[in-house]
Amino acid sequence: MTWARRTVPVIAAAVAGLAARDVLQRDHALLRNFPLVGRARYLLEAIGPELRQYIVAGNDEERPFTRDQRRWIYASAKQENNYFGFGTDNDIERSPGYPIIKHRTFAPTVPPSHPTAGHDVRLPAAKVLGGPRGRAKAFRPGSVVNISGMSFGSLSGNAVSALNQGAALAGCLQNTGEGGLSPYHRHGGELVFQLGTAYFGCRDARGRFDLARLRDLVAGAPVRALEIKLSQGAKPSLGGLLPGAKVSAEIAGTRGITPGQDCVSPSRHAEFSDCDSLLDWVELLAAETGLPVGIKSAVGDLGFWEELTTLMRDTGRGVDFVTVDGGEGGTGAAPLIFTDSVSLPFQQGFARVYRTFAERGLHEQTVFVGAGKLGLPDNAVVAFALGCDLVNVGREAMLAIGCIQAQKCHTDTCPTGVATQNAWLARGLDPARKSVRAANYLGTLRRDLVKVAEACGVEHPGLIDTDAIEILDGRTSARPLREVYGYQPQWGLPSAADRAAIARLMAGEAPRGGSALPSATAQG
């Protein structure tokens, strides 16, 4: 009783003080009119995403990833049962744009089935990266599924380490993102080094690109290719700012900037100003490093792509690969107008870019990479049919290592330690364990792609053509993918020589665990 007599007045005083504060403050009319009680509204607003995610929303209602999609990724990462029973709960007939994959009863080629089909299989790319242009370090990527560009600074060091170790286990490539090559990228996984507008990791004291630093960097790390980032789906043609408070000594050392000062990424590059100078820079980088060089971009004005491909056709200079990022991409935070309405969605953007290359006869000598929710098998199959040779996974890889779609990536309060620099939150992510989950997910996605290819009567997902998929217009009609996007026959497929090479590789490949997979094979 003595404890109660002392405590109750303290609690009552605290409540009265809070009520008085609500009445006297002028920021929130709701609290002035309804002190204390009005706070329930702000509490419900704060936890609304969690309430919808776990209680209110149906299996196929949430965005950007539905509950079913997240369940599939989580189960795949944990090597749990990722099958779904009792049929689809997608409203297929009322979903215009829904893709239907057409399986074949008979086919000229019958891919061999095997008793260990549930295990990971090696799935090399159908094209040699840098081969057509004779790059000194051309190679055939050992996996058609690779990890997209996510910088150290936006992701925690533990998250980057987990993804890099997972890439090594799965035999795939990891893109560094524009934030430079950190110590967390050096755990065995091979890399694509991304050059953003601020040239982090290869810049001089004034922030200008430094070729000598780039040469030294790629010579001392397992970098297999260079990617010039022109824009990304989350924030196309929008620069970036990392506030000085978040620029730790470790991030500063990786990026080549001053600790504690605002870190600005310009909206455009300073090393080139048009397609002609861009191609000059591409050829310079390739000559100085021997590496394949490509570009990454979201798709807006098609004039850029028309000018680029015309110059490639007429001058012989060119990029080795093109990464097309869909407007639905989302590993970078951005203003709402950019996330919702700037740049084309992946399928439309990619199809327009591929068609531009194909019309100029450049599609067979260019490797096409897709990104933008392509870490789900159905989306990936459509991407391969449209002409992708590789797909990059970003948010799906984050989900595999623990992301719960809290959508707090830009607040530094990610509860699972994935997208934060808060040391206490990041410590909850164990890179050793999560790397295995990343590799499991990547291997399962490849396995499912092989199974779908087999259903379509081909050996490899890159050999699935646009006639193998129809897009529903509604309950009573559908159109072939080729017709939807105006493709000519054989567009979207590798050259005859590449098709023969991949058939030989797939025919001689036995299923094996991800840890034994090489990340790339030699040219040819």
Question: Are 370 and 388 in contact, with CB atoms under 8 Å apart?
Answer: yes
Mean pLDDT of the chain: 87
Q: What percent of the chain has pLDDT over 70?
A: 87
Give the model confidence (pLDDT) of 181-236 as tens digits.
Answer: 999 999 999 999 999 999 999 999 888 999 999 999 999 999 999 999 998 766 66
Q: Are residues 127 and 247 in the same domain?
A: yes
Residues in the chain: 524
Q: Is there a domain that residue 208 lies in?
A: yes
Using CB atoms within 10 A of its CB, is residue 491 exposed (0-12), middle (13-18) or buried (19+)?
Answer: buried
Asked if residue 302 and residue 157 are part of one domain, the reply reads yes
How many domains does the structure of the chain reveal?
2
Q: What whole-number distance in Å separates Cα of residue 99 and Cα of residue 42?
A: 40
CA–CA distances in Å: residue 195 to residues 209, 226, 265, 462: 9, 7, 11, 28
> Do 336 and 450 reside in the same domain of the chain?
yes
- Whether 223 and 349 map to the same domain: the answer is yes
Indicate if 191 and 334 belong to the same structural domain: yes
pTM of the model: 0.89
Using CA of residue 137, residue 460, residue 112, residue 448, what is the dihedral sign?
positive
pLDDT in tens, 314-358: 999 999 999 999 877 666 666 777 777 777 999 999 999 999 999
DSSP string, 36-83: TTTHHHHHHHHTHHHHIIIIIS-TTT-SSS-HHHHHHHHHHHTT----
| 379 and 341 assigned to the same domain | yes
Residues 42 and 151 in one domain: no
Specify whether the CB–CB gap between 373 and 510 falls below 8 A: no
- Residue among 339, 426, 395 at smallest CA distance from 147: 395
The answer to whether residue 31 scores a pLDDT higher than 90 is no
Is there a single domain that holds both residue 71 and residue 10? yes
Tally of CA atoms within 13 A in the half-sphere of 313 that contains its CB: 15
Based on the domain organization, do 465 and 352 belong to the same domain?
yes
CA angle 408, 411, 415 (to 5 degrees): 50
- Write out the residue range of the structural domain in which residue 55 sits: 2-77
- Work out the burial of residue 378: count CB atoms within 10 Å of its CB; fewer than 13 is exposed, 13-18 middle, 19 or more buried: middle
- Alpha-carbon dihedral 420, 210, 267, 417, rounded to 10 degrees: -10
Rounded CA gap, 516 and 336, in Å?
Answer: 43
Residues 6+ apart with CB under 8 A from 18: 35, 36
How confident is the model over 59-96, as pLDDT tens digits? Answer: 666 778 888 898 999 899 999 988 887 778 777 776 78
Tell me the average pLDDT across 493-498.
91
Element (H, E) at 347: helix 346-359
Q: Please check whether residues 60 and 162 belong to one and the same domain.
A: no
494 and 129 Cβ atoms separated by less than 8 Å: no
- Please answer whether residues 366 and 345 qualify as being in contact, where contact means their C-beta atoms are separated by less than 8 angstroms: no
Q: Are residues 34 and 173 in the same domain?
A: no
**Is residue 431 in some structural domain?**
yes
CATH number at residue 158: 3.20.20.70
Q: What phi and psi, each to the nearest 5 degrees, are found at residue 390? A: -140, 155
The H-assigned helical ranges of 88-190 are 157-170
518 pLDDT band, cuts 50/70/90, is very low
Report cis status (omega within 30 of 0) of the bond before 243: no
| Model pLDDT for residues 256-299, shown as the tens digit of each residue | 988 888 888 888 999 999 999 999 999 999 999 999 999 999 99
Residue 177 has pLDDT above 60, yes or no: yes
